[in-house]
């Protein structure tokens, strides 16, 4: 039996450490009542870092959803695991996660420039990609310049939760969203880049577009007649 962890990273992406109580241990992973570790999803990799407890510690090499919504903190092979009921101190690899936050926010900016349906995407610390359903060619220079301007303009980035009932009462919200929200979960998490983008998203982002920093458009690849893959890089 595991309990669903409180997902602290959804409310505050800048938390680097927290304490939690171990609720289950299984298959080289442990589960807790609350966590700052982001589990793989939405193209963003799971967090890595360290756990320590009275009498032990372990490197966390990946974070993933296990059965249902339980978050598995996967430890290095052969590492010891904390006991159920013990208190663990969790610390994420902040340098890596912060790059994911910058990249993830850059992806939203890119999506606001190229207003086509997104068919896929992947984030890493050095290079990320977004696939668009489009036949047109991408003017790399123009897109790069637009991206730089959005970063420099220091747009505020924020998250808020909205109920499906509120959404139904405000249909204009859905019309302004670049991606249609998923239904059936009761509430939806919206990511808003002030004046730039509004869409449902569960990932972690920086709090201002200027924090994205030195981002550059890389290769634009033609993946089939109706698919363009745009790569972006962080240059620091
Ligand atoms: Zn996002």
Write the pLDDT tens digit of every residue in 13-72: 999 999 999 999 999 999 999 999 999 998 999 999 999 999 999 999 999 998 777 999
- What would the mean pLDDT of 8-14 be, rounded to a whole number? 95
CA 45 distance to own-chain centroid: 8
Distances in whole angstroms, Cα of residue 151 to Cα of each of 107, 124, 147, 158, 210: 12, 19, 6, 15, 5
Determine the distance separating the centroid of ligand 1 and the alpha carbon of 159, expressed in angstroms: 9
Encoding tokens for residue 208?
């201002």
Determine the distance separating the centroid of ligand 1 and the alpha carbon of 104, expressed in angstroms: 6
The predicted pLDDT at position 107 comes to: 95
Determine the distance separating the centroid of ligand 1 and the alpha carbon of 203, expressed in angstroms: 5
Encoding tokens for residue 100?
């994911």
- What would the mean pLDDT of 230-235 be, rounded to a whole number? 96
CATH topology of domain 6-92: Elongation Factor Tu (Ef-tu); domain 3 (2.40.30)
Domains in the chain: boundaries: 6-92, 97-234
Determine the distance separating the centroid of ligand 1 and the alpha carbon of 96, expressed in angstroms: 16
CATH topology of domain 97-234: 3.30.980
**3-state SS assignment for residue 225:** coil
Q: What is the tens place of the pLDDT at every residue in 171-224?
A: 888 777 777 788 887 889 999 999 999 988 999 999 999 999 999 999 999 988
CA 26 distance to own-chain centroid: 25
Determine the distance separating the centroid of ligand 1 and the alpha carbon of 31, expressed in angstroms: 25
DSSP assignment letter at 183: -
CA 235 distance to own-chain centroid: 20
The predicted pLDDT at position 3 comes to: 62
The predicted pLDDT at position 180 comes to: 76
Q: What is the tens place of the pLDDT at every residue in 106-164?
A: 999 999 999 898 889 999 999 999 999 998 889 999 999 999 999 999 999 999 899 99
Determine the distance separating the centroid of ligand 1 and the alpha carbon of 11, expressed in angstroms: 13
Stated pTM of the model: 0.94
Residue (of 116, 103, 93, 92) closest to 44 by Cα position:
103
Name the helix (H) or strand (E) containing 117.
strand 117-122
Determine the distance separating the centroid of ligand 1 and the alpha carbon of 50, expressed in angstroms: 25
Instruction: Give the C-alpha separation, 92 to 60, whole Å.
Output: 9
Instruction: Give the C-alpha separation, 183 to 43, whole Å.
Output: 20
Determine the distance separating the centroid of ligand 1 and the alpha carbon of 87, expressed in angstroms: 31
The predicted pLDDT at position 4 comes to: 84
- What would the mean pLDDT of 95-116 be, rounded to a whole number? 96
Determine the distance separating the centroid of ligand 1 and the alpha carbon of 103, expressed in angstroms: 9
């Amino acid at each position: 039996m595991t309990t669903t962890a409180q997902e602290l990273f959804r409310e505050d992406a800048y938390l680097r450490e927290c304490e939690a109580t171990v609720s289950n241990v299984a298959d080289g992973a442990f589960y807790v009542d609350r966590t700052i570790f982001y589990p793989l999803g939405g193209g963003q990799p799971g967090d890595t870092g360290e756990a320590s407890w009275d009498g032990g510690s372990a490197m966390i090499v990946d974070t993933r959803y296990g059965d249902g919504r339980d978050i598995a903190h996967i430890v290095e092979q052969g590492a010891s695991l904390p006991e159920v009921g013990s208190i663990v101190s969790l610390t994420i690899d902040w340098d890596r996660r912060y790059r994911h936050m910058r990249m993830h926010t850059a992806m939203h900016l890119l999506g606001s420039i190229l207003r086509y349906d997104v068919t896929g995407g992947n984030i890493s610390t050095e290079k990320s990609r977004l696939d668009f359903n489009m036949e047109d060619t991408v003017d790399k220079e123009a897109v790069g310049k637009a991206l730089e301007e959005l970063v420099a303009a220091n747009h505020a980035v924020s998250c808020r939760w909205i109920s499906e009932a509120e959404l139904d009462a405000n249909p204009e919200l859905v019309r302004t969203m670049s991606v249609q929200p998923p239904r059936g979960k009761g509430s939806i998490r919206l990511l808003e880049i002030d004046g730039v983008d509004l869409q449902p998203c569960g990932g972690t982002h920086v709090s201002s577009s200027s924090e994205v920093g030195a981002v550059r458009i890389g290769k634009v690849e033609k993946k089939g007649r109706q698919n363009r893959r745009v790569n972006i890089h962080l240059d620091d």
